[in-house]
């Protein structure tokens, strides 16, 4: 497993080691030991995943940009097991030097890359293929009362979602989120979200 740092501290791309032969391929999609060994030193803390989720979506579906408010904040380790998505993490920590900036990475069934989104970030993705099956690990359980989001269509974020907006399919909930300029973040760069 290779851990690649991105332009925003704590946001990581995880590339598994793939073993291919005439039969197909094999890889460890997650190893707690290896994640702790290679990612924890980069992050400066250990992540304990406790819930796995999966979604299936068709082309043009955009989900996000979601987060959970403290004390139920979540980190996520995400991957696309079928199809292709553009996956995005946006820094929403007040006082952060990268506040409002994002990292975008294409996750596909062929590249097998995974994306680690720390606590204090909003997360979303857009489906680029006909269909996509998306899986993610969370380090906190889902709490609907802590649901939060910022607008996935906020142009000020500068995200190229790689799909024309006239083809975008959003849930009603995701059309209701504030744009970043109207958003009051529940996260502070000076508060340790991993206590």
Residue 168 scores a pLDDT above 80 = yes
Contact 101, 7 (CB under 8 A): yes
User: How far is Cα 126 from Cα 80, in angstroms, rounded to an integer?
Assistant: 11
For the chain, percent of residues with pLDDT exceeding 90: 95
Q: Which of 66, 102, 123, 177 is catalytic?
A: 66
Contact 138, 53 (CB under 8 A): yes
Residue 75 scores a pLDDT above 90 = yes
CA distances from 149 to 17, 27, 112, 146, 187 (A): 34, 33, 27, 10, 13
Residue 195 scores a pLDDT above 80 = no
Q: Annotated catalytic, 136?
A: yes
Mean pLDDT on 90-98: 96
Residue 99 scores a pLDDT above 80 = yes
Q: Which residue has tokens 């502070």? A: 188
Mean pLDDT on 94-108: 97
The per-residue pLDDT for range 145-165, each reduced to its tens digit, is: 999 999 999 999 999 999 999
Task: Name the band, by pLDDT with cuts 50, 70 and 90, for residue 192.
Answer: confident
Predicted local confidence at residue 108, as pLDDT: 98
The per-residue pLDDT for range 9-60, each reduced to its tens digit, is: 999 999 999 999 999 999 999 999 999 999 999 999 999 999 999 999 999 9
Q: Which of 102, 112, 123, 136 is catalytic?
A: 136
Q: Annotated catalytic, 143?
A: no
Mean pLDDT on 172-183: 95
Domain extents in the chain? 49-188
Predicted local confidence at residue 122, as pLDDT: 98
The per-residue pLDDT for range 127-146, each reduced to its tens digit, is: 999 999 999 999 999 999 99
For the chain, percent of residues with pLDDT exceeding 70: 100
State pTM to two decimals.
0.94
**Fold of the CATH domain 49-188:** Jelly Rolls (2.60.120)
């Amino acid at each position: 497993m290779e851990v690649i740092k991105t332009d925003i501290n704590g946001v990581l791309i995880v590339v598994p080691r793939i073993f291919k032969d005439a039969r197909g391929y094999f890889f460890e999609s997650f190893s707690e030991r290896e994640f702790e060994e290679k990612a924890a030193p980069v992050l400066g803390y250990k992540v304990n995943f406790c819930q796995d989720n999966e979604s299936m979506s068709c082309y043009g579906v955009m989900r996000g940009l979601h987060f959970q408010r403290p004390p139920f904040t979540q980190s996520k380790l995400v991957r696309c097991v079928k199809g292709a998505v553009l996956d995005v993490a946006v820094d929403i920590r007040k006082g952060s030097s990268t506040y409002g900036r994002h990292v975008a990475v294409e996750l596909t069934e062929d590249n097998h890359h995974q994306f680690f989104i720390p606590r204090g970030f909003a997360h979303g993705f857009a489906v680029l293929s006909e269909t996509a099956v998306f899986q993610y690990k969370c380090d906190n359980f889902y709490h609907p009362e802590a649901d939060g989001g910022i607008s996935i269509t906020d142009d000020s974020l500068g995200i190229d979602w790689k799909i024309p907006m006239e083809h975008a399919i959003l849930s009603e909930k995701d059309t209701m989120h504030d744009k970043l300029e109207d958003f009051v973040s529940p996260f502070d760069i000076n508060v340790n979200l991993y206590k």
